[in-house]
A and B are shown apart, each in its own frame.
Chain A
Amino acid sequence: MFFKSSKTIIISLLLIAILMTGCSSGKPTETSSTNSPATGGDVKLVLAAYTTPREAYGEIIPLFQAFWKDKTGQTVTVEESYQGSGTQSRAVVEGFEADIVALSLEADITRIEKANLITHDWRSEPFGGMVSTSAVAFAVREGNPKNIKDWADLLQPDLEVLTPNPKTSGGAMWNVLALYGAAKRGHVEGFSADDAGAQDFLLNVLQNVSVMDKGARESITNFEKGVGDVAITYENEVLVGQQAGVNYQLVLPTSTLRIDNPVAIVDTYVDKHGTREVAEAFVDFLFTKQAQEIFAKYGLRSPDAEVAKATAAQYPPIQDLFTIDEFGGWKEATPTFFGDDGIFYKVFAQVQGIQINE
């Protein structure tokens, strides 16, 4: 009695399966993910970036599109995704088919390398593959009411500090290492210039942290909403925010960590999509003076010496600028600080221990 109905149902099942796969995006202007090769016709690039350079890429991409159209007659569309650097990196490893990754720190590129998705030597690009640099700095309220001048000022009692969560945010990792390094190098009064002193300093600052967001951008926008007294962040986040009209001040500590942001094409996906030529051109474009000037415009210090000199007024020199080499590079820093038993998590757990007992 129900035979006909079950047959219909099974047919409907098949139809729907076909429908779903056939219209896999459903958008009216969709092109399938396996693209036609880069010669002739339109080409699509997928860019996976961390949260901070959003505005810079917003301006660079149209320039690149014009440049490429001029050179080859091809129209390039770029699909952008901006998430925490760690989040983005993992997504790519999980199957997010990004052609180009522009991340906050080298460790996130290394992860993709380890998954065998990036197979070329991206460090052989100009500036060691680093397309922009910045520094860890503070965002404070207009007029700097809490008078924050340097790292030691973060220890004021009842001060509310914002910094993102290192689990998901590359920016958070830079922050922690900057803090640690500054103390270890003896630039924080009251703390010995060694690991013990640095850990002690970290412990004390963490006690003042009130919100830990997923990403650097979320952290600073929270700060803008009135949360906290100071946000540890990228110098360039503050500059971009100021450009967007937000009223806060940038404070550069005497000693801080240089943030180097790498960019690389993802070999597996560009080969799969047939977009290698365009992708490589895009990365090359990022190192040109034109693009570097745009990065500088949006708060990022350029690794290009000329552009750096030209924009020196915007970017005051930092007294003691150290790099990730202070910690043996990311390949050592990541496990030492952010592994399961890493220094950060150990100290953080201690902080909670202290706070619970208060």
Chain B
Amino acid sequence: MSVTASPRSALVKTQSPFLDWLDQNKGKWTKWTLITLVVAYVAFLIVTPIAALAVGAFEKGIGKIISSLNQPDVFLAFWNTIWISLVVVTIHAIFGTLVAWVFVRHRFPGRNLINGLVDMPFAVSPVVAGYMLLLLFGRNGMLAPVIDALGIQVAFAMPGMVLATLFVTMPFMIRELVPVLEAFDIRQEKAAATLGATGWQTFWRVTFPALRWGMIYGITLTFARALGEFGAVLVIGGGVQGRTETATLFIYRALDERQYIGAYSAALVLGLFSLILVLGSDWLRRKRE
């Protein structure tokens, strides 16, 4: 199930007896009442808060926005967010594809169980996700001896935050790819094989192109989710300015420091960025269809 599936094409004049009946029996204005109701709800619930944020950010003019955002720690925080998101997207692109592939093409014991587990991160609160990693990598954590031996710091450092973000974004790629893989006609692969292609060639030349769009949507959703991660990185990262502070953590700190314009502007920037990603992929999807 893809949460962002958009209607294929606008349904033009439908000859729906139900709609006609609604119009006739429930009043001519049923259509417009319902539409107004929906539009009002959406306007109230979704548009006004975003508008309020924009108004709050622009309250002291665009100059103040620029000066609040033009600080080294803001750049650093955004850089951390982008870096973490890129690493996460790359890893999921590779391994998510792998997992989807293995699911669709192979059979092995425990397959169904793992099938369900992939969606687990969706059910786990980000706080819990961060806490699980703390249990593993904190000073008295289960894997602490291992990482100490390797000399890496995971908790309260970037690797921990990457892991936390990896966890919460896990389902997206796989959910996008599995249906695509399922729908893909394996006879094409077979044909390639009989024509002498190696496994790798078959994958790259035959299967991968069909996956491309699934991957693009998966990457977009993963990226947008990773950009906005807050609870998990707060618990595992500690919000150390200049070191483990992401854009979301910066916003949180800016609110604490009474830097409201800075907080709201950063929120707008972050929101806009994710928005472009999500709406962009929606638009691309619609264009394809």
A residues at B contact (CB < 8 Å): 1-5, 8-9, 12-13, 16, 19-21, 24-28, 33-34, 46, 51, 54, 79-83, 91, 93-97, 115, 215, 217-218, 221, 224, 241, 244, 246
Which residues does chain A contribute within 8 Å of B159, judged by CB atoms? Answer: 20-21, 24
Q: Would B90 and A95 count as touching, CB distance under 8 A?
A: no
List 16 extra interface pairs beyond A16-B90, A94-B156, A218-B256, CB under 8 A: A1-B199, A3-B199, A5-B203, A9-B94, A24-B159, A25-B158, A26-B79, A27-B76, A27-B79, A51-B256, A81-B238, A91-B156, A97-B156, A215-B256, A221-B258, A241-B258
Q: Would A224 and B258 count as touching, CB distance under 8 A?
A: yes
**B104 CB to closest chain A CB, in angstroms?**
13
CA–CA, A218 to B256, complex, Å?
6
27 cross-chain CB contacts under 8 A: A1-B199, A2-B200, A5-B203, A9-B94, A13-B95, A16-B91, A21-B150, A24-B157, A24-B159, A25-B157, A27-B79, A27-B243, A28-B79, A33-B153, A80-B242, A81-B241, A83-B238, A93-B139, A94-B139, A94-B156, A95-B141, A95-B155, A217-B256, A221-B256, A221-B258, A241-B258, A246-B258
Q: Would B94 and A12 count as touching, CB distance under 8 A?
A: yes
**A113 CB to closest chain B CB, in angstroms?**
15
Interface size class of B (residues with CB under 8 A): 35 or more
CA–CA, A56 to B239, complex, Å?
19
Which residues does chain B contribute within 8 Å of A26, judged by CB atoms? Answer: 79-80, 83-84, 87, 158
A13, A21, A79, A96 interface centre (most CB from chain B within 10 Å): A96
Contact of B272 with A by CB under 8 A: no
CA–CA, A193 to B162, complex, Å?
55
Q: Would B156 and A95 count as touching, CB distance under 8 A?
A: yes
CA–CA, A218 to B134, complex, Å?
24
CA–CA, A115 to B138, complex, Å?
13
Q: Write out, one digit per residue, whether chain B residues 152-194 have a CB within 8 A of any chain A CB (1) or not (0).
A: 1101111100100000000000000000000000000000010
**Cβ-neighbour of A97 out of B76, B153, B199 (below 8 A):** B153
**A119 CB to closest chain B CB, in angstroms?**
16
Contact of B137 with A by CB under 8 A: yes
Contact of B240 with A by CB under 8 A: yes
Which residues does chain A contribute within 8 Å of B200, judged by CB atoms? Answer: 2, 4-5, 8
**Known A9-B94, A16-B90, A27-B80; contact A4-B198, beta-carbon cutoff 8 A:** yes
Q: Would B255 and A95 count as touching, CB distance under 8 A?
A: no
A1, A95, A224, A244 interface centre (most CB from chain B within 10 Å): A95
**B50 CB to closest chain A CB, in angstroms?**
19
**Known A5-B199, A5-B200, A8-B200; contact A33-B157, beta-carbon cutoff 8 A:** yes
Q: Would B139 and A95 count as touching, CB distance under 8 A?
A: yes
CA–CA, A60 to B55, complex, Å?
35
**Known A1-B202, A3-B199; contact A221-B255, beta-carbon cutoff 8 A:** yes
Question: Nearest residue in B to A93 (C-beta to C-beta)?
Answer: B139
Q: Write out, one digit per residue, whether chain B residues 73-94 have a CB within 8 A of any chain A CB (1) or not (0).
A: 0001001100110010011001
Q: Would B238 and A91 count as touching, CB distance under 8 A?
A: yes
Contact of B39 with A by CB under 8 A: no
CA–CA, A314 to B120, complex, Å?
56
Which residues does chain A contribute within 8 Å of B162, judged by CB atoms? Answer: 20
